[in-house]
Amino acid sequence: MNYKVLSLVLLLAAVAKAQFPCSAYQCEDEELCLPTRYVCDGEPDCVSGDDEVDCEYCRDGFFKCPSSEFCIVEHYVCDGLGDCPNSDDEANCTYTTAPVCEPEQYQCFDGLCIDEQFVCDGIVDCYMADDEQECQECKEGYHCQNDLCIPDIYLCDDYENCIRGEDEKFCPCDPTDFICTDGDCIPEQYRCDGYYDCFGGSDEENCGVSESPISSDTAPRRTHDTAPRRTRSQSHLLRKLRTMGTA
């Protein structure tokens, strides 16, 4: 279902810890910053599985699947699509065309009622994404200058999710990257490949001549890559979000 999560057509890269500290759940012994809603959801996302330790019950705002250990957000219940392994969340449902939200809930522009804790948490639940817009602050995730909340895992993923692109600034380069004259960095194989990748074209200068790698005193950032560095758990989370986003 497209409104459950932001559509993920991107590959995930590790978050730059120094510049962008994790605002949600930090997996042990790795850089994956996991949205809180995926902690104790019955499916391990961290490599060591620490996100599924000491999970005896579902938190407020979540629904416990009767036939499994899965916890799903309450507004997934009776939404017409099965999210629990046996589709228990769609049993004995009475569907209405005009839902009435409780005082502690937010009503999306499309009419869906969601718990207030899921408003401005970095993950889109409303069909029109209005639950992540005009946010003065984010409960989780990164706060863009235009008051948009995005997940921490979108930081430094080589794609600008904030309108001004601040989610891709100050991201660390790999030691093997080529550093452009403006401080950006690109994969070494893009150097002298006949295409301008650096702003100003510094990656296509002095080609065919052996020279030392260019260095920079400022913190360079990566611009793009055909194969971003991902951990096993990041790849798992990517597949999980893709599955939920197209269910």
Contact 229, 177 (CB under 8 A): no
Shared-domain flag, residues 209 and 92: no
- Residue 207 reports pLDDT greater than 70: yes
Shared-domain flag, residues 35 and 117: yes
Q: Tell me if 13 is assigned to some domain.
A: no
Torsions phi, psi for 105 (to 5 deg): -115, 160
Kindly state the tokens that stand for 71.
């916890």
Contact 148, 136 (CB under 8 A): no
- Residue 119 reports pLDDT greater than 80: yes
**For the chain, what percent of residues have pLDDT higher than 70?**
74
Instruction: Give the pLDDT confidence score for residue 137 in this predicted structure.
Output: 94
Q: Are strands 184-186 and 221-222 parallel, antiparallel or unpaired?
A: parallel
Residue range 50-71: average pLDDT?
Answer: 84
Q: Sorting pLDDT into bands at 50, 70 and 90, what band is 1?
A: very low
Q: Tell me if 130 is assigned to some domain.
A: yes
Shared-domain flag, residues 132 and 85: yes
Shared-domain flag, residues 233 and 205: no
Q: Tell me if 240 is assigned to some domain.
A: yes
Residue range 133-150: average pLDDT?
Answer: 93
CATH code for the domain in which residue 184 is found: 4.10.400.10
Shared-domain flag, residues 193 and 118: no
> What is the tally of structural domains in the chain?
2
Shared-domain flag, residues 157 and 211: no
Shared-domain flag, residues 130 and 207: no
Shared-domain flag, residues 110 and 185: no
Shared-domain flag, residues 103 and 198: no
Q: Tell me if 123 is assigned to some domain.
A: yes
Instruction: Give the pLDDT confidence score for residue 146 in this predicted structure.
Output: 92
Write the pLDDT tens digit of every residue in 156-195: 887 888 888 888 877 878 888 888 887 777 888 889 988 8
Q: Tell me if 2 is assigned to some domain.
A: no
Write the pLDDT tens digit of every residue in 65-92: 887 778 888 888 888 788 888 888 988 8
Helix (H) or strand (E) holding 63: strand 62-64
Q: Tell me if 81 is assigned to some domain.
A: yes
Shared-domain flag, residues 133 and 214: no
Q: Sorting pLDDT into bands at 50, 70 and 90, what band is 29?
A: confident
Shared-domain flag, residues 152 and 37: yes
Q: Closest by alpha carbon to 182, among 213, 207, 217?
A: 217
Using DSSP's 3-state secondary structure scheme, residue 247 falls into: coil
Q: Tell me if 4 is assigned to some domain.
A: no
Q: Tell me if 12 is assigned to some domain.
A: no
Cβ neighbourhood burial of 66 (10 Å; 0-12, 13-18, 19+): exposed
Total-model pTM: 0.59
**For the chain, what percent of residues have pLDDT higher than 90?**
19
Shared-domain flag, residues 34 and 55: yes
Average pLDDT in the chain: 76
Residue 186 structural domain: 173-218
Q: Closest by alpha carbon to 85, among 67, 63, 98?
A: 67
